[in-house]
Chains A and B, each alone.
Chain A
């Protein structure tokens, strides 16, 4: 049973465009939603995270939009650059300090010139 569904599986965006990756969750007890970025041959690294008390969080070109009623959250990458080409994972967990982190299946993003 997949508790966090991520789409699309792969995404190609032109340089300067907006990349959008979506995730949906089932467990209403989830209250921490991070996004991880993974480059080939490397471990995932935290990119940005949100808690459900806000609907949006922005850090530089990266924005998380969160819709609690729809149980969905998304990552927007503005002005996408070739250096953003990587695999992105959404995740969710329940409660601060809860180590059970459930990941989505990942999105391979390619930014073309």
Chain B
């Protein structure tokens, strides 16, 4: 089944404790993105990647890092999480021949 998977789905952590949210897609897509969703703000793009080793900032990159060492994986790294990063995070991917982005199921992160 073609899908985008994220892990973990739920995470509660404390300020300053480094964490990684994984994202993997099995559709051989070139493009991958990370978004955060907050009430009243919609979805905001954090980072995106056009292909392996090619990444760029979205609208809200501060406090986040990404890497794209393999085509299928695009982890989101919070090196020193803060409470304002409490949010619902979505990973998405897209193939080069289509406009359609496929979203993962989301990761709900709480930073205490």
Contacts and interface: CB of A to CB of B under 8 A. Distances in A.
B11 interface: no
A12 interface: no
Determine the main DSSP class of B at the interface with A.
Answer: strand
A34 B99 contact: yes
A32 B59 contact: no
Contacts, number: 58
Given A6-B42, A43-B90, A44-B43, A99 B103 contact: no
Contact of B45 (A41, A100, A104): A100
Interface residues of B, number: 28
Contacts of B99: 32, 34, 46, 49, 96
A89 interface: yes
A44 B105 CA distance: 8
Determine the main DSSP class of A at the interface with B.
Answer: loop
B103 A43 contact: yes
Contacts of A9: 40
Interface string B1-28: 0001000000000000000000000000
Contact of B43 (A45, A46, A103): A103
A105 B40 contact: yes
Interface residues of A, number: 23
Nearest to B94: A99
Given A6-B42, A44-B43, A101 B33 contact: yes
Interface in A73-109: 89, 91, 96-97, 99-106
Closest 4 CB pairs of A and B: A43-B103, A99-B48, A105-B42, A103-B43
Interface of B: 4, 31, 33, 35, 40-45, 48-50, 56, 58-59, 90, 92, 94, 96, 99-106
7 contacts: A44-B90, A44-B103, A45-B103, A99-B31, A99-B48, A103-B35, A105-B40
